[in-house]
Structures are given as C-alpha cells and as structure tokens.
C-alpha cells in the first residue's frame, strides 16, 4: 500500500467509514450489518446497479446512427425477455425482429408518426402474444379476464427486454402507435397471435428528460 493510500485509508477509518468487500463504503458502526456481512454488501451493490438501470432507462426518441447493435446482442436481450414469468409458464409472448435496412424501413411505415423518432435504430421488434394460453387451462378459459393475461405476460416480458437492453447500454422505445395489419403483411404472424407493441432498440443520441410520475402514495396503498 502506498503512503498516500495509507493516509487516505486512515482518514476514512477515522471518519467512521470502512470499505466493504463489494467496493461500497459503510459506516463502521454496529448498525450497518453490511460492513460485516459480505452477502448483504453484495446485495446492496446489486440493488444500486439495478436502481441505476431503472433510473437511466427512458423512452428514447432519437438514436445515434454511428453505433449499431449486433444480432448476437439482440438475441441476448430477447433471451432475458424469455426469462420473464408467465401464466403456468405458457410463455405466450412472441417476437418478430427487423434488423435488415429493408425490413426496418418497412416496419417504420407501419408506425405512423413514430417513424420520425427512429432514425438510427438498430432493430425494431414486434411483440405479440398467443391467444388462449395465459388465462386458460387445456384450452378452456379459467379466469374472467381471459386473454388479458396474455397481454399481461407479453408486457411483463417486454419489461425484462427493456431493462436488459438498458443494462447493456442500449435504449428503447415501446410503441403502441402501430398498424397491426401492416405488420402482419411484413411478418408471418399467425392469426391466433395478437400484435401488441413495436420496440425500438438502439443507442440514445441525447439524454432524455424524465417525465414526472404521480405521487407514490396515490398509486401505492399499504394496509
Ligand atoms: C404500451 C406503451 C405504448 C407506448 N406507445 C408509444 C408510442 O406509440 N410512441 C411514443 O413515442 N411513446 C410511446 N410510449 C412511451 C411512453 O410515452 C413513455 O413510456 C412514458 O411517457 C414515460 O416515459 P419514460 O418511458 O421515459 O419513463 C409507450 C409506452 C408504453 C408502455
């Protein structure tokens, strides 16, 4: 250990902080169990990393055309989407991926005004779900909301997709403003699948603003 490092370490200890195994700084007092517990300390670091992913994810409406995402990377993102939970593990979510310039141009035409937000994207991913799966058992509806569970599971899978993408340094835009029939003309989407969103994948050109959220207590109730 160099002299300066030693002086710095001594200063930190004097001020009542110790460095944890996982690189965080904790108060050396008995109240912070992470200072003694490596597992707890690592969990804290993981939570901080996840919070950073959540906080930096935004709907991005302008992409950097000088950077591209490879097919292998898109596969990695979609593998995370497939890990999402679903009704009886039916996995109703399906994806159709446009990566060639021709397919991307065709999908853009199905996106109305969203088209102007997509210059420089690397991929456009159509999400869909197979009907009569989630909410059904042996093909029979078992819950009053039926196929809305399919939409639920598809959205859940897309949530995994966009967070995994952000963890890899990518950006996304979920678009509900799309022409489902036009998308069906581009991809072989079977009739028993409901087309949901189109998700843009690329690198942000500028840092987007965070839109305000409703007050926490308005949307969460504890009893
Ligand atoms: C189901 C869904 C559909 C959306 N459709 C569009 C869309 O068509 N065009 C668009 O620019 N943004 C769309 N958005 C993005 C929302 O406007 C955005 O998530 C919201 O304003 C919050 O901003 P944030 O994602 O940066 O937190 C959509 C988001 C969701 C979840």
pLDDT in tens, 85-138: 999 999 999 999 999 999 999 999 999 999 999 999 999 999 999 999 999 999
Q: Which pLDDT score, from 0 to 100, does residue 18 have?
A: 63
Residue 177 Cα to ligand 1 midpoint, Å, equals 9
Find the residues whose C-beta lies inside 6 A of ligand 1.
Answer: 58-59, 61, 114, 117, 173-177, 197, 211
Which atom of ligand 1 approaches the CA of 111 most closely?
8
pLDDT of residue 14: 47
Nearest to 133 by CA among 100, 69, 88, 190: 88
| Stretches in the chain below the pLDDT threshold 70 | 1-33, 35-36
Domain 71-202 in this protein, CATH class: alpha beta
**pLDDT score recorded for residue 21:** 57
Cα–Cα distances in angstroms (integers) from residue 91 to residues 32, 76, 83, 188, in the given order: 41, 17, 9, 19
Task: Tell me the best of 55, 159, 175 to mutate to test the pocket of ligand 1, counting ligand atoms within 8 Å of each CB and taking the most.
Answer: 175
Which residue ranges make up each domain of the chain?
3-56, 71-202
pTM value is: 0.89
Supply the residue whose CA is at minimum distance from atom 3 of ligand 1: 176
pLDDT of residue 180: 98
Backbone angles phi, psi at 207, to 5 degrees: -80, 120
Q: What are phi and psi of 149, to 5 degrees?
A: -65, -30
State the pLDDT at residue 7: 62
Please give the mean pLDDT across all residues of the chain.
91
Cβ 49 vs Cβ 60: under 8 Å: no
Rounded Cα distance between 162 and 201, Å, is 9
R_g (Cα) of the chain, nearest Å: 23
In this prediction, residue 38 carries a pLDDT of 79
Specify the residue with its C-alpha closest to ligand 1, atom 1: 176
């Amino acid at each position: 250990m160099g002299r300066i490092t030693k002086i710095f370490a001594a200063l930190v200890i004097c001020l009542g902080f110790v460095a944890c195994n996982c690189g965080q700084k904790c108060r050396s007092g008995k109240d912070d169990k992470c200072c003694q517990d490596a597992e707890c300390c690592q969990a804290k670091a993981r939570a901080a990393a996840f919070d950073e992913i959540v906080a930096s994810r935004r709907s991005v409406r302008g992409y950097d055309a000088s950077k591209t995402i490879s097919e292998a990377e898109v596969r990695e993102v979609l593998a995370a989407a497939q890990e999402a939970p679903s009704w009886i593990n039916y996995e109703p979510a399906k994806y159709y991926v446009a990566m060639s310039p021709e397919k991307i141009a065709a999908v853009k035409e199905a996106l109305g005004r969203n088209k102007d937000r997509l210059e420089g994207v690397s991929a456009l991913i159509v999400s869909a779900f197979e009907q009569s799966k989630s909410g059904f058992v042996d093909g029979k509806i078992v819950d009053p909301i039926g196929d809305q569970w399919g939409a639920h599971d598809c959205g859940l899978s897309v949530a995994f997709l966009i967070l995994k993408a952000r963890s890899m340094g990518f950006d996304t835009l979920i678009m509900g403003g799309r022409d489902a029939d036009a998308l069906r003309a581009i991809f072989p989407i079977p009739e028993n699948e409901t087309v949901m969103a189109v998700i843009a994948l690329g690198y942000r050109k500028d840092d987007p603003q965070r839109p305000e959220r409703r007050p926490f207590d308005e949307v969460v109730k504890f009893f």
